């Protein structure tokens, strides 16, 4: 692999107060960039001062959303060391998204070197306050400057990072979720299983509508039957119904969440039965009605494990777990964050120490 060339920023920004971080707003001093050109492959990996990109106005990414991204975090342990959580899983998923979007595959070691090189340089930005971390956003964009609808031959993979606290202003308090019955996010054969900007653009209208009514995010239903639960805007979902854990299966339109994967493993370690299958909204509201819907939560890198306290759809509203965090949700949160911040043993070797 070519050596990463580092150009340091001439002046460094003041670090923000870690108790007042707004998700995704405080970008650090540097970023990683590597170019790809068909025929040449990946070249010129570099870390440069953080700043605006110069992009041709005809670049495909600006018109046809030729873009994919990832999200992972660097955590500071009580001993002051820094560690990543399952970064190779993110890179594998990035390459799956790349295959769907006709973007080039990036070698795992190059994608990872961009992340670790940048985080090491920005190590003073990794906050140490309880519940905070450095959010890492790798992304890939198609840059060919021509308006024909074709895949790009010139592409960049870029990594930016920012210190973050809780994703939801509520913190670990239960969030209210609206079951979206009008717009759909994805269909099988579409791009739902890829982490690509267009999916999120398509979600904005429903998200705005839900927010105006006091809901944090929407819960998407499948695009064909408009009946089966898929996922929340930035999280996969799980339900505890009559002692069993239910979560939608990966049917091609749901993102294969790394937090989802980790939670399923932990739940199985603890002896829970986890059913990955189709779950209709009727089944869910029925379970709420007969008192067997015991807990509901979302899982995601940004949101971690986030309790759901209320589900609403049309005129119907149900409260889950008395709008309190339930015991399984709390145990998952404690164990997952315990592993991520290095407070607990890591039996599945998910953590990658940086130093």
- Which residues contact ligand COI (rule: CB under 6 A)? 71, 234, 300-302
Residue 191's binding partner, choosing from ligand PLP, ligand COI, none, with beta-carbon cut-off 5 to 8 A by kind?
A: none
Which residues fall within 8 angstroms of residue 114, CB to CB, at 6 or more apart? 4, 32, 34, 45, 138, 157, 159
Candidates 210, 234, 241, 336: give the one binding ligand PLP (CB under 6 A).
234
Please provide the size of the chain in residues.
355
The sign of the CA dihedral 165, 118, 28, 70 is: negative
DSSP-assigned letter for residue 157: E
Task: Kindly tell me which of 143 and 234 has the beta carbon lying closer to ligand PLP.
Answer: 234
d(CA 299, CA 189): 24
Identify the residue among 122, 144, 231, 294 touching ligand PLP (CB under 6 A): 231
Residue of 109, 137, 127 lying closest to 42 (CA atoms)? 109
**Binding flag, residue 217, ligand PLP (CB under 6 A):** no
Applying CB under 6 A, among 112, 246, 255, 266 the residue interacting with ligand PLP is 255
| DSSP state letter for 18 | G
| Beta carbon nearer to ligand COI, 4 or 118 | 118
Distance between CA atoms of 41 and 348, rounded to whole angstroms?
A: 34
**With CB cut-offs between 5 and 8 Å by kind, which of ligand COI, ligand PLP, none does residue 198 bind?**
none
Binding site partner of 329, from ligand COI, ligand PLP, none, Cβ cut-off 5-8 A by kind? none
Q: Which of 53, 160, 43, 155 has its CA nearest to residue 110?
A: 43
Tokens, residue 275? 């059913």
The minimum distance between CB 49 and ligand PLP, in angstroms, equals 27
Binding-site string for ligand PLP from residue 51 to residue 90, where x marks contact by CB under 6 A and - marks none: --------------------x-------------------
- The reply on whether position 259 binds ligand PLP by CB under 6 A is yes
Q: Which residue has the tokens 């190779």?
A: 88
Binding residues (CB under 6 A) for ligand PLP: these are 71, 231, 234-236, 255, 257-260, 299-301
């Amino acid at each position: 692999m070519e050596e990463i060339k580092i150009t340091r920023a001439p002046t460094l920004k003041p670090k923000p107060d870690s108790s007042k971080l707004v998700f995704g707003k405080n970008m650090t001093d540097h970023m990683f960039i590597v170019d790809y050109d068909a025929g040449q492959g990946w070249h010129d990996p570099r870390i440069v001062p953080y700043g605006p990109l110069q992009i041709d106005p005809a670049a495909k990414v600006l018109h046809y959303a030729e873009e994919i991204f990832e999200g992972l975090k660097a955590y500071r342990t009580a001993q002051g060391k820094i560690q990543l959580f399952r970064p190779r899983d993110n890179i594998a998923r990035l390459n799956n998204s790349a295959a769907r979007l006709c973007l080039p595959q990036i070698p795992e070691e190059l994608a990872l070197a961009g992340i670790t090189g940048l985080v090491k340089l920005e190590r003073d930005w990794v906050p140490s306050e309880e519940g905070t971390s450095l959010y890492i956003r790798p992304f890939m964009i198609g840059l060919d400057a021509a308006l024909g609808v074709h895949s790009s031959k010139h592409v960049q993979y870029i990594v930016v990072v920012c210190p973050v606290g809780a994703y939801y202003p509520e913190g670990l308090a239960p969030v209210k979720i609206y079951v979206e019955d009008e717009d759909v996010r994805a269909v099988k054969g579409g791009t739902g299983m890829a982490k690509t900007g267009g999916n999120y653009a398509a979600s904005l209208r429903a998200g705005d509508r839900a927010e105006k009514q006091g809901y944090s995010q929407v819960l998407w239903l499948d695009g064909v039957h408009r009946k089966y639960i898929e996922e929340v805007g930035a999280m996969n979902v799980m339900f505890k119904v009559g002692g069993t854990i239910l979560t939608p299966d990966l049917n091609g339109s749901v993102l294969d969440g790394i937090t989802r994967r980790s939670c399923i493993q932990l739940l199985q370690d603890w002896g829970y039965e986890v059913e990955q299958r189709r779950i209709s909204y009727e089944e869910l509201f029925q379970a709420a009605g007969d008192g067997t819907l015991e807990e509901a939560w979302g899982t995601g890198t940004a949101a971690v494990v986030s309790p759901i306290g209320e589900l609403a759809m049309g005129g119907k509203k149900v409260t889950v777990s008395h709008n309190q965090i339930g015991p399984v949700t709390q145990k998952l949160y404690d164990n997952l964050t315990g592993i991520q911040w290095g407070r607990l043993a890591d039996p599945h070797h998910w953590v990658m120490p940086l130093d």
